[in-house]
Amino acid sequence: MKHASILGTGSYLPQRQLTNFDLEKMVNTSDEWITTRTGIHTRRIAGRGEENYRIAAGAARKALDMAGLHAEEIDLLVVATMTPHMMMPSSACFVQAEIGADNAHAYDINAACTGFLYGLDLADKYVVSRPDMKILLIGSETLSARVNWQDRNTCILFGDGAGACVMSSREGSRGVVDSNLRSDGRLWNLLYMHGPASLNPDLVQNDHNGCYIQMIGRDVFKYAVKAMEEAVVELLDRNGVTISDINLMIPHQANIRILNKLMERLGVPREKVYINVDKYGNTSAASIPISLDEANRKGILRRGDLLLFCSFGGGFTWGSMLMQW
C-alpha cells in the first residue's frame, strides 16, 4: 500500500514585522512580559495585497516549484484555515483561481491550529485510494484580522503566514506512517471565535461580542500539554517507536511555555525539536507547514528521517502524526 509523501514545500510570511516593542505602544504590556510568558519576539502582520488566499498562493507556488510540478497537474487543493478570505467561496477556490490549478477540486477545512495535521491525514487517505493523485495542501492564516487589539492576553500571541506542501506517492519513501487525531467539542468555550452576527433574530447569540479569538489561557495550557503528550505517546506505542527513534519533532508553535513543558514530559531533547515561535508567534494552521518548509530549505531533513508532528487547537482539536521523509 502506498502512502502520501511530500514532494515539495513552500511558505510565505508577510513583509511587516510587529515587535514586542511595537506592542508596548498599543496595549499595557512590555517586551519582558511577552518574552517570558510566550517566547515570542516578533510576528508577521499581513498588509495590502496579502489577503489569506494570496499568501496561501505564495506558499503554494514555492511548493509546486520545489516539486517540479505545474498548478494544472494538481488534482486536489485543500486549505486549512480558520480565517478565510470570505465565508463563501472557500479560500481554496480563490487559491485555485490565483495559481491556475484548473483541474483540481478545492475546499477548505477548519480544525483551528490542528488543521494542517487533519489535512495531512486527509491527503494520505486520498493517496492510499489513488496513488497517482497529486494534492496541494496549504495552511494559511491572517489572524491579525481576528484578534482583539485591546486584549493584551491574546493580541501578543498571534501572527499571519502560510505554509504549503505538494503530496503524492513516491518510490523509496514510506511517507505518512500513522496518525492519531482527536477532538472534544465539550470544551469549545475555552478557546473560540464567533462567526458573523446572525441576521435571523431567533438565532442571535446573546453572548456574541465580536468576531475575534477569545480564550481562557490557563485552562488551554493545561489541556494542550496533556492532550498532545497523550496523543504522541499513544501513536509511538502503537507503532513500536520511541522518542529516541525520532529525527525531528515539529510541533505547533503555540508558545514557548507549552513547548518546553511538552518536551519535558516527552523526554525529547531540545536539539530534536524545531522551534520558530520567537519569530512568527502562533500562526495556527500555518505554523507546522511554515516550520516544515524552513527545516526542509535549511537542509535539516534527510531522506529516511522519521518526523513527528503534534498540534492542539480550538474545538478542542489535537493530534499527532509520524512521517518518514
Q: List, by residue number, the catalytic residues.
A: 113, 252, 282
Q: Are strands 213-215 and 191-193 parallel, antiparallel or unpaired?
A: antiparallel
Helix H or strand E segment including 262: helix 256-266
Q: Which amino acid is at 26?
A: M
Taking CA 99 as the corner, what is the angle to CA 93 and CA 103, rounded to the nearest 5 degrees? 65
Calpha distance 50→58 (Å, rounded): 9
Is-cis flag, bond preceding 312, omega within 30?
no
- Closest to 314 measured CA to CA, from 220, 246, 242, 196: 220
- The C-alpha cell that represents 304 in the structure block: 529516511
The pairs formed by 260-269 with CB atoms below 8 angstroms and a separation of 24 or more are: 261/221, 261/225, 262/225, 262/228, 262/229, 262/310, 265/225, 265/229, 266/229, 266/232, 266/233, 267/243, 268/243
- The C-alpha cell that represents 50 in the structure block: 496579502
Residue 103 vs residues 10, 76, 96, 135: alpha-carbon distances, Å: 21, 8, 9, 11
Is-cis flag, bond preceding 14, omega within 30?
no
Tell me the torsion sign for CA atoms 69, 73, 77, 83.
positive
Tell the residue number behind the cell numbers 438565532, with chain if given.
203
- The C-alpha cell that represents 280 in the structure block: 512568527
CA atoms within 13 A on the CB side of 24: 11
Q: Which amino acid is at 185?
A: G
Calpha distance 84→110 (Å, rounded): 9
